[in-house]
Amino acid sequence: MKTKVAIIGSGNIGTDLMIKILRLSESLEMSVMVGIDPASDGLARAKRMGVAICASGVDGLLEMEEWKDIKIVFDATSAKAHIYNWDKIKPFTDKKMIDLTPAAVGPYLVPPVNFTEHSDVPNVNMVTCGGQATIPIVAAVNRIAKVHYGEIVASIASKSAGPGTRANIDEFTETTSLAIEKVGGAEKGKAIIVLNPAEPPLVMRDTVFTLSEDGDREAIRASIKDMVAEVQKYVPGYELHQEVQFDDIPASDPVFIEGLGLRHGLKTSVLLKVEGAGHYLPAYAGNLDIMTSAARATAERIINQ
């Protein structure tokens, strides 16, 4: 029997997640799509696809007959809205929440990196699109050579950044930077997001730089490729854009890292491309695809563990 789930947020991310669950999941069943705009395309699509809808937010969801059977709630709203939503749902101890906003009320979770540490937590946070794409790479380097500094640059098509993304730019950089440290294992993390206005829109590109202790380069390269293969299990469009690059930072010419001071070691540069599956939005919206795919993978692991 499939596990019933609800999605709060009928925008781009929530709608794409709904379609992924309906089309791909063998263990999750869409029960209710929740929004606050009765005229939203997400609610209209849910209704056409046979999913119960609610246009009065989390408060309306709690009053629905379907609520008692729902076990997992995805929040695809905003950082601010998540605080309110979680306060309402927290008393229901038989429910789990998967947070796709940058609110980070619960611990950060990146499925191939730290799922086992947080599999029983009632509220887990999916970091950000940039975090889901890049933190696995930082962690892959860190398991071979201790990472002092991890920096990521996430470049996404401007057209794939909806109002929710734009309203949470500050939270994006703060949340991703912290997760590079807490999940990726870096002593210091930094995140940058670029909204690329190019036409036609370009697919998501991510650049990851790490400065680590010196280590076996072939082992680091193999660790990265293994991690890419793990992510590809739930995001088929995730791939290395070119071969991993290495540079020595000698002790005689160290670099200054704010908060850490002078550091030397091995610089590893990784270029990624994330192409979406095109379930709801165009393939260039890989930033949304990796978030919804990671959330679906997390829910499936929770119920199948």
- Alpha carbons within 13 A on the beta-carbon side of 282: 12
**Per-residue pLDDT band at 103 (split at 50, 70, 90):** confident
Please name the residues in contact with 104: beta carbons below 8 A apart, sequence gap of 6 or more.
Answer: 125, 127, 175, 178
Q: At 162, is the secondary structure helix, strand, or coil? A: coil
Q: Tell me the per-residue pLDDT of 201-218, one tens digit each, with 9 for 90 and over.
A: 999 999 999 999 999 999
Q: Tell me the per-residue pLDDT of 233-291, one tens digit each, with 9 for 90 and over.
A: 999 999 999 999 999 999 999 999 999 999 999 999 999 999 999 999 899 999 999 99
Q: At 175, is the secondary structure helix, strand, or coil? A: helix
Please name the residues in contact with 121: beta carbons below 8 A apart, sequence gap of 6 or more.
Answer: 106, 107
Q: Tell me the per-residue pLDDT of 139-150, one tens digit each, with 9 for 90 and over.
A: 999 999 999 999
**Per-residue pLDDT band at 193 (split at 50, 70, 90):** very high
pLDDT of residue 161: 83
**Per-residue pLDDT band at 166 (split at 50, 70, 90):** confident
Q: Domains in the chain, ordered, with CATH? A: 3-127+289-304 (3.40.50.720), 129-282 (3.30.360.10)
* C-beta separation of 150 from 144 below 8 A: no
Tell me, letter by letter, the H, E, C secondary structure of 146-161: CEEEEEEEEEEEHHHC
* C-beta separation of 129 from 287 below 8 A: yes
* C-beta separation of 74 from 258 below 8 A: no
pLDDT of residue 210: 98
54 annotated active-site: no
Task: Tell me how far CA of residue 105 lies from CA of 135, 166, 170, 222, in angstroms.
Answer: 19, 20, 16, 34
129, 179, 294, 297: the catalytic one is: 129
pLDDT of residue 170: 86
Q: Tell me the per-residue pLDDT of 23-78, one tens digit each, with 9 for 90 and over.
A: 999 999 999 999 999 999 999 999 999 999 999 999 999 999 999 999 999 999 98
Other Cβ atoms closer than 10 A to 277: 20
Judged against a pLDDT cut of 90, whether residue 102 lies above it is answered with no
